[in-house]
Amino acid sequence: MSRNTVVLGAGMVGVSVAWHLARQGHSVTLVDRREPGRETSFGNAGIIQREAVRPYAFPRDLGTLLRVMPNREVDIRYRPTGMVSAAGPLLQYWLNSGPTRYRQIVPAWASLIMRCQEAHAPMIEASGAQELVRQGGWLELYRTRKALDERLVEARENHERYGVEFEELDAEALYAKEPHLAKGLVGAIHWTQPWMVADPGALVQAYARSFEAQGGHVMLASVEEVIQTGTGWRVVTSEGALEADQVVVAMGPWSRELLERLGVSVPLFVKRGYHMHYSAEGGAALNHWVMDAEKGFLLEPMRAGIRLTTGAELADLDSPPQYRQLAAAEKVARKLFPLGKRRDSQPWKGARPCMPDMKPVIGPAPGKEGLWMAIGHGHQGFTLGPVTGKLLAQMMDGETPDVDMTPFRADRF
Ligand SMILES: Cc1cc2nc3c(=O)[nH]c(=O)nc-3n(C[C@H](O)[C@H](O)[C@H](O)COP(=O)(O)OP(=O)(O)OC[C@H]3O[C@@H](n4cnc5c(N)ncnc54)[C@H](O)[C@@H]3O)c2cc1C
């Protein structure tokens, strides 16, 4: 069995893969150009989303499309150049969001989500990161009865099919939990199972330290080239070359470019997002992570302050930041909760690595013996990193994975 493995990318996904491989006795080097957990896995909303058993579909109803079209909404924005360069994957994403195809995608996706907490738990314990993780769930806020009722129908189905736990809160119960939210909300769904992380990047770092404690090696270097040799793989980095029996690509939004150079085509596209931290005005407290569901942003009481995270911006990975979506969300958020001053000099920008059928790729790269992929976790990579690591390590060691991995194969496109 090959045991000398290089993992490329130290976000939540790559660190979790490396952690599981080290635990299974591989000699693992984890390579990243930055410290672990400094990119997408740093700036997210920090929710380990046990409730997210349905992946994020492309809006298909005419009302939403017309609403989004003028490009002034809080939840979705687009840059025309980004739409053009990702046109193929976006069209597929739109087709996959239709009812028939979406119905087939959900059970596969849910098979991962349902295992997210049992996969995080041993990693939290081994890394001593309990103080970063809060239990008690989060609140999805509603402004209209109609939208809340529609969501409750889904919530009940998700409870029956996938064991999602929730409580419906009327306005009185909601304001008892969050007295500083502005009046006018009709109620909320309290997702009671999810765990919230007060510093997502710090959790990834804690997992990386735990990986090192198991004998793993973290290498701070930029990956320049990956070459298949007669006996395995050579990874050329800014700090020198590494020889490996097996290589795992887990470079999140940057994976596509590297894989294309290796002759592996994946239709990965990105949905960018932003965050900013704020103080709270006049001693107001936010007790829970809350989502303004009908506007499309979240507020999270993090270590660094109250973090506002935005919805999706369809734009090229590397195009310059565009802060109008954050400004629009901030304007609404200030009316919802008494936010004080901005705490960061610049907004943070990140990119969700997305696949057109909403499912990640977890498994071998087609036709490339010893090359593996763990990419494309979209809106829930922080949630799904550990379960991905566990399943991929099982596959790499020839064990039967805990779930059917067929829906996540790379050759499905
Ligand atoms: C605003 C926002 C909110 C979100 N909220 C949540 C949430 O609440 N819950 C949830 O589950 N998910 C959430 N997500 C999604 C989640 O953050 C991502 O799915 C996840 O972080 C992806 O992890 P990753 O390890 O694949 O990628 P990353 O964390 O981006 O890691 C990829 C790594 O590859 C490295 N890399 C790239 N190129 C190279 C190179 N050439 N050489 C060396 N290293 C390289 C990078 O430095 C980086 O560290 C959110 C995302 C956004 C943007």
* DSSP labels, 11-69: SHHHHHHHHHHHHTT-EEEEEESSSTT-SHHHHS--EE-TT--S--PPP-SHHHHHHHT
User: What topology does CATH give the domain 1-56+98-130+199-266+357-413?
Assistant: FAD/NAD(P)-binding domain (3.50.50)
Work out the percent of the chain whose per-residue pLDDT is above 70.
Answer: 100
In this prediction, residue 77 has a pLDDT band, given cuts at 50, 70 and 90, of: confident
| Contact status, residue 62 vs residue 393, Cβ threshold 8 Å | no
Measuring from atom 41 of ligand 1, which residue has the nearest CA? 223
Rounded average pLDDT over 73-88: 86
Q: Which residue has the tokens 């980004």?
A: 82
**pLDDT surpasses 60 at 1:** no
Would you state the pLDDT for residue 2? Answer: 52
What is the rounded CA–CA span in Å between residue 97 and residue 357? 8
- The ligand 1 atom at the shortest distance from the C-alpha of residue 36 is 49
Measuring from atom 22 of ligand 1, which residue has the nearest CA? 381
Rounded average pLDDT over 249-264: 97
**pLDDT surpasses 90 at 3:** no
Rounded average pLDDT over 191-209: 98
**pLDDT surpasses 80 at 63:** no
| Contact status, residue 60 vs residue 67, Cβ threshold 8 Å | no
Ligand 1, pocket-test mutation among 74, 382, 388, most atoms within 8 A of CB: 382
In the reported structure, the alpha carbon of residue 35 is separated from the centroid of ligand 1 by a whole-number distance in angstroms of 13
Would you state the pLDDT for residue 47? Answer: 98
Residue ranges of the chain that CATH labels 3.50.50.60: 1-56+98-130+199-266+357-413
More confident residue, 61 or 312: 312
**pLDDT surpasses 90 at 68:** no
In the reported structure, the alpha carbon of residue 11 is separated from the centroid of ligand 1 by a whole-number distance in angstroms of 5
Ligand 1 pocket, residue 110 CB under 6 Å:
no
In this prediction, residue 366 has a pLDDT band, given cuts at 50, 70 and 90, of: very high
Ligand 1 pocket, residue 347 CB under 6 Å:
no
Rounded average pLDDT over 63-79: 81
Rounded average pLDDT over 101-111: 97
Rounded average pLDDT over 21-44: 98
Report strand pairing: 233-237 vs 223-228. Answer: antiparallel
Would you state the pLDDT for residue 200? Answer: 98
| Contact status, residue 29 vs residue 7, Cβ threshold 8 Å | yes
**pLDDT surpasses 60 at 283:** yes
Rounded average pLDDT over 383-400: 98
**pLDDT surpasses 80 at 329:** yes
Which structure tokens are listed for 371?
A: 């090359």
**pLDDT surpasses 90 at 412:** yes
Would you state the pLDDT for residue 7? Answer: 98
Q: Which residues of 384-396 are buried (b: 16+ CB within 10 A; e: fewer)?
A: bbbbbbbbbbbbb
Work out the percent of the chain whose per-residue pLDDT is above 90.
Answer: 92
Ligand 1 pocket, residue 116 CB under 6 Å:
no
Residue ranges of the chain that CATH labels 3.30.9.10: 57-80+131-198+268-354
Nearest to 36 by CA among 252, 270, 259: 252
Write out pLDDT tens, residues 131-179. 999 999 999 999 999 999 999 999 999 999 999 999 999 999 999 999 9
Rounded average pLDDT over 384-401: 98
What CATH class is the domain 57-80+131-198+268-354?
alpha beta
Would you state the pLDDT for residue 85? Answer: 85
Instruction: Report the chain's mean pLDDT, rounded to a whole number.
Output: 96
What 3-state DSSP class applies to 374? Answer: strand
